[in-house]
């Protein structure tokens, strides 16, 4: 990941995902990053907190929606495993990351500027709205 800055939520960092390290096509599961063995190339969950209607407009490949099923799965996951949250502009995803931080999760990230920022800086093929 690049362009990190500390968010005012403690351990939640607002960051852009480094698209050169993100390989949704090679990922065996939704929201996971493939791991070619490099020390900086770790698997993570990419969780989209937007509504199904918003996701119908455009998604970051490999992300999964934060529905009840995903929420329950995440609560059962390793609290040190990296989780990256995204939404439209980054505010709802920051709130979701904070929600998980308060439940003891330690390796949380927010896609700064959300899918809108992703569309502008990483993948212009993802529609803006």
**Cβ(45)–Cβ(77) below 8 Å:** yes
Say how many C-beta atoms besides its own lie within 10 A of residue 106's C-beta: 13
* Distance between CA atoms of residues 88 and 86, nearest Å: 7
* Distance between CA atoms of residues 64 and 44, nearest Å: 12
Active site residue ranges: 87
Sign of the alpha-carbon torsion through 81, 60, 120, 43: positive
The DSSP letter of residue 11 is S
């Amino acid at each position: 990941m690049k362009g990190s800055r500390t968010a005012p939520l403690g351990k939640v960092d607002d960051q852009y995902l480094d698209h050169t390290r993100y390989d949704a096509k090679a990922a065996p599961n939704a929201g996971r990053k493939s791991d070619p063995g490099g020390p900086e190339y770790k698997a993570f969950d990419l969780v989209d907190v937007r509504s199904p209607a918003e996701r119908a407009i455009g998604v970051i490949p490999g992300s999964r929606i934060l529905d009840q099923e995903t929420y329950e799965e995440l609560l059962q996951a390793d609290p040190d495993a990296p989780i990256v949250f995204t939404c439209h502009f980054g505010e709802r995803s920051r709130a979701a990351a904070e929600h998980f931080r308060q439940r003891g999760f330690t390796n949380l990230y927010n896609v700064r500027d959300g899918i809108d920022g992703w569309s502008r800086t990483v993948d212009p093929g993802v529609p803006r709205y």
